[in-house]
Structure 1
Amino acid sequence: MDFTNQRVIVTGAGSGIGKATALKFAQLGALVAIADVNGDAAKEVAELAGSNAFAVVVDVSNSADVQAMAAAVVQRLGGIDVLCNNAGFGSLGTVADIEESDWDRLMSVNLKGVFLCSKYCLPELIKSGDGRIVNTSSYTAAVGIQNRAAYVASKGGVSALTRAMALDHIDEGVRVNAVAPGTINSPYFDKIVNQSTNSQAVLDELNGRAPMHRMGRPEEIAEAILWLASKESSFATGSVLTVDGGTSTW
């Protein structure tokens, strides 16, 4: 895959899947906007990525922030060819016990963030003549998981929105796909393990979710995202590519 001089935005690029994705794009020649709500993390990743990358601070749930991000990228790079909507987070809770404010916050980042970033980047993606959007969904959108009602609902929305956008913008030369990761060894799960009273039991449970008996690596999901963003996947649009170590087959 060759992304030489391709203009790319990766949201949630300060850690985990987003970080691995942004670094891989940069390695393959892309000009990468490292977008994250954590400015320090974004700057650290941009430094790792080298001269082809720069940091952008953005809250994807905030319309003004997203418009400013898109404008900054266009000013710096002259346009946008690829948008990776990766920013998101998880939370515990069933419909019965999750607080309404927590539900709203998660939805505003995980789902509304995809809407806002796509909305304000689409004019430039259309101008590029070969625009690509890759959204980060989750295997849970297809199979569900206990005690994660808001997260599962948000990722179900991401998968559905991916298909809708693919149809809406196919005639404008924009392809829209999503990757659906399984449980990935990331700072989010590191925190859960470290804060547990029985860290080994929690780690065993996380590793045991997949038939492969391990969590995925951020770099493995990055490879899938880059394929969907590449010319090699030119016949794919509206696809949700599951990369979960077989978890959804159980």
Structure 2
Amino acid sequence: MTDSRIPLPYEGLVAAVTGGASGLGTAIARELSSRGATVYCLDLTIERVELPLVGIVCDIGSSSSVEAAIDEVIRQAHQLDIVVANAGIGAQGDIEANDDEEWARVLNVNVIGSARTVRAAMPHLRRSSAAAIVFTSSIAASAGLPDRALYSASKGAISALTRAVAVDCLPYGIRVNAVAPGTADTPWVGRLLDGAKDPQAERAALENRQPTKRLVRPEEVAEAVAYLASPSSGSTNGIILAVDGGMDSLRPRPA
């Protein structure tokens, strides 16, 4: 009897998602898995990673940890086709708020951490016929947001890095894109709201600055990442895909 089942678009592919144990990373990992990929969540803590996702301990702030995690993916799966460099940390304050040590800490995770993840994966991606890299940038890379100087700088670097890596990867057939979410309804944003003087008012302010008047859903970001990484998106390369409810590009008339 022949198999009449229609194959899923990601069937047979292996993906690694940094920061895959929470927030956007979990939503991305689940979406890729639902489309047929074998997905490894690389994160500091993996207790919350649920099957069929596979958790691997990884500190993207350390080259040796990243290299060990990628090696473990290859040991288990024998291949790597998709890398989603999603993990990152937040930072608040204007240009005077953070000292050199904090700048170094955030840039080491958000920028160099993403770079070292892709660097470690490159030898394996070159062997894939469906290789794709997706970085996580942010609305903060293109819109001036208050009290986000350091964070914005880190995400601006990610957007620039995306295009630079994309052009370098052309000879290898590896596509490189980024997703740029607006303010998303994630645990990290929840913690920021919890620390505000008036969490309800702060949430309302974040929602009202979005043209859609609501925060971005993690599942919407995951859908965009799945499109960018899909083998069927072969002509999508070197783009920064905004998933921000129009925050960067729309100017609605004030109510």
TM range (shorter): over 0.9
Identity %: 37
- Structure-2 residue corresponding to 1:35: 42
Is structure 2 residue 11 aligned with structure 1 residue 4? yes
- Structure-2 residue corresponding to 1:99: 99
- Structure-2 residue corresponding to 1:69: 69
Aligned length: 243
- Which whole-Å CA distance do the structure 2 matches of 1:137 and 1:196 have between them? 24
The alignment yields a C-alpha RMSD, in angstroms, of 1.1
Please say if residues 11 and 36 of structure 1, whose CA atoms lie closer than 8 Å, have aligned partners that are also in contact: yes
- Structure-2 residue corresponding to 1:194: 194
- Structure-2 residue corresponding to 1:147: 147
- Which whole-Å CA distance do the structure 1 matches of 2:165 and 2:30 have between them? 27
Deviations along 1:75-105, one digit per CA (max 9) or x if unpaired, are 1000100000000121111222212111111
Greater helix proportion:
1
Please say if residues 21 and 55 of structure 2, whose CA atoms lie closer than 8 Å, have aligned partners that are also in contact: no
Three-state SS of the structure 2 residue aligned to 1:248 is coil
For the pair shown, the structure with the greater C-alpha radius of gyration is: 2
- Which whole-Å CA distance do the structure 2 matches of 1:11 and 1:101 have between them? 24
Among residues 13, 22, 31, which one is paired with 2:20 in the alignment? 13
Q: For structure 1, which runs of at least 5 residues remain unmatched after alignment? A: none
Please say if residues 80 and 124 of structure 2, whose CA atoms lie closer than 8 Å, have aligned partners that are also in contact: yes
**What letter is aligned with 2:17?**
V
- Structure-2 residue corresponding to 1:22: 29
Three-state SS of the structure 2 residue aligned to 1:188 is helix
* TM-score of the superposed pair, with normalisation by structure 1: 0.94
- Which whole-Å CA distance do the structure 1 matches of 2:139 and 2:22 have between them? 20
Q: For structure 2, which runs of at least 5 residues remain unmatched after alignment? A: 1-7
Deviations along 1:88-143, one digit per CA (max 9) or x if unpaired, are 12111122221211111110111001110010101100111321000000111112
